Every structure is written in structure tokens, then in C-alpha cells.
């Protein structure tokens, strides 16, 4: 687990979903998307 630095952003859409990007300094960029599960079953 090496220490890392960078930045990123996230945007919440009206439907509650979230998209964004994590950017590591001198490294990779990772896009992501998330939405709340409608399932009532615990993980």
C-alpha cells in the first residue's frame, strides 16, 4: 500500500447516480459510475 497523491471529481445526477474520475499524480486515471442499489438484501 504505497502512498499516492492526486485529485478527482464527482457529479451527482438528478436520478441519484454518480459519475466521476480519480486521477493519480504522474499515474493513471480511473473513471467510475455508481448508483444506489434498490435491493433490500444485505451484501
Domain assignments of the chain as residue spans, ordered by start? 1-35
Q: How far apart are CA 29 and CA 5, in angstroms?
A: 12
pLDDT of residue 13: 95
pLDDT of residue 18: 96
pTM of the entire structure?
0.65
pLDDT tens by residue, the chain, 43 residues: 788 899 999 999 999 999 999 999 888 999 999 998 877 676 6
Q: Is 23 within 8 Å of 42 (Cβ atoms)?
A: no
Q: How far apart are CA 35 and CA 43, in angstroms?
A: 15
Amino acid at each position: 500500500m504505497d502512498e499516492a497523491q492526486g485529485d478527482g471529481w464527482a457529479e451527482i445526477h438528478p436520478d441519484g447516480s454518480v459519475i466521476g474520475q480519480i486521477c493519480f499524480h504522474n499515474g493513471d486515471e480511473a473513471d467510475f459510475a455508481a448508483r444506489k442499489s434498490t435491493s433490500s438484501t444485505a451484501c
